[in-house]
Every structure is written in C-alpha cells, then in structure tokens.
C-alpha cells in the first residue's frame, strides 16, 4: 500500500468533504419535490373538505403520490448514473424514506379503517423522517423542522380535524420546505 504525503492526505479529506456536501445538496431535490407535492395536496384536501364539503377530499393524495414516486424513481436513476457511485448517506436516506413512505400509506389505511384523523399520525411520521434525515446529514434546520412536526402533531390532537390539515401545511412550509431550500443553498 502506498503511503500518502500530508498534503495528499489533506486533499483526500477535502475531496471527501466536498463530495458529502454535494450529495447533501442533491438530496434537496427530493425534499423540495415532496414538500411541494404534499403542500399542494394538503391545501387541496382542506379546500375540498371545508369549502366544497365533499367526502372526496382524499383525491389530491391519489394524484400526488404516484407523481412523486415516479419523479423520485426517475431522478434517482439519473443521479446514480451521473454520479457513478453511491454514498452511505444516500443509500441510508433512500431506504429510510422508502420504509417511511410505506409507513405513511399504512398509517392512512389504518386511520381510515378505524375512522380516526390520519393527519395527526402523518405529522408525527413527517417529524420522524425530517428529524432523522437532519441528524444523519448533521443539518440543524432540518433537525429543527423535525422537532416542529412533533410539536404540531401534539397540538393537532387538540384541534378540529380540518385545522390539522392547516397545521400540516404549516409544518411542510416551515419544517420541510424551508430547510430544503436552505439545504439546496448550503
């Protein structure tokens, strides 16, 4: 094995740090995509539920979820092909959010079956995902966003069902989209 000089060792370390920062910036695409999709779906659900008084208020989610999944899969393939390598952080976040995505669907299914407000639990899961992602990336705005989701999930227990959707919108805007834009800028 070849010994590296001090200067070469420092360059390897600096290169690794640059790659990690670029990988974090790449992650911002997924947070922005899902942030905007969920924001639009939650606002649409609120409008349909409150102003149209329709029981079909879940329809926006049936549109948003497939669009997000397809866009995520396409972008993920492009990113992996372009980059030519896979990082531990990227792999962890990919699997983590896949499992969390499945958890979102299961929570909604269980909540609808039991006739309880799913938004309370989706706020909690969004907090879990955002907080763990922020901790994994050591990105304080995302950590704060995850904590915000937890606080909003507790508050949502004490407000009417339609108001929980507005809390969800607030959580997405401040706890998810704002950190995602800061991540992209970092």
CA nearest to 147, candidates 132, 161, 169: 132
- Is 87 among the domain residues? yes
- Is 60 among the domain residues? yes
Question: How many CB atoms neighbour CB 86 within 10 A?
Answer: 12
- Is 1 among the domain residues? no
- Is 148 among the domain residues? yes
**Is the Cβ–Cβ distance between 39 and 177 less than 8 Å?**
yes
What is the span of the domain harbouring residue 92?
6-185
SS3 label, residue 6: helix
CA nearest to 38, candidates 113, 118, 122: 122
- Is 45 among the domain residues? yes
- Is 93 among the domain residues? yes
pLDDT digits (tens, 9 = 90+) for 117-176: 999 999 999 999 999 999 988 899 999 999 999 999 999 999 998 999 999 999 999 999
Q: What is the pLDDT of residue 12?
A: 60
CA pair distance 56, 54, nearest whole angstrom: 5
156's CB contacts (< 8 A; 6+ apart) are 117, 119, 120, 123, 163, 164, 167, 168
| DSSP summary character for residue 54 | -
SS3 label, residue 138: coil
Q: pTM for this structure?
A: 0.84
Q: What is the pLDDT of residue 77?
A: 85
Q: What is the pLDDT of residue 57?
A: 92
Domain count of the fold of the chain: 1
- Is 33 among the domain residues? yes
- Is 34 among the domain residues? yes
Q: What is the pLDDT of residue 1?
A: 47
Q: What is the pLDDT of residue 15?
A: 61
Confidence of residue 88 (pLDDT cuts 50, 70, 90): confident
């Amino acid at each position: 094995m070849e010994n590296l000089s001090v200067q070469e060792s420092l360059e390897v370390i600096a290169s690794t740090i640059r790659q990690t920062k670029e990988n974090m910036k790449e992650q911002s695409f997924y947070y922005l995509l899902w942030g905007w999709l969920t924001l639009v779906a939650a606002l649409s659900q609120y409008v349909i539920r409150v102003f149209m008084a329709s029981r079909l208020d879940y329809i926006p989610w049936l549109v948003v979820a497939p669009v997000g999944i397809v866009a995520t899969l396409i972008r993920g393939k492009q990113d992996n092909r372009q980059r030519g390598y896979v990082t531990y952080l990227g792999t962890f976040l990919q699997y983590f959010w896949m499992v969390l995505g499945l958890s979102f669907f299961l929570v909604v299914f269980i909540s609808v079956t039991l006739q309880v407000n799913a938004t309370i639990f989706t706020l909690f899961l969004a907090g879990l995902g955002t907080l763990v992602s922020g901790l994994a990336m050591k990105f304080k705005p995302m950590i704060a966003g995850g904590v915000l989701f937890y606080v909003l999930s507790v508050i949502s227990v004490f407000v009417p069902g339609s108001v929980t959707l507005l809390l969800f919108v607030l959580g997405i805007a401040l706890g998810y989209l704002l950190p995602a834009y800061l991540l992209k800028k970092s």
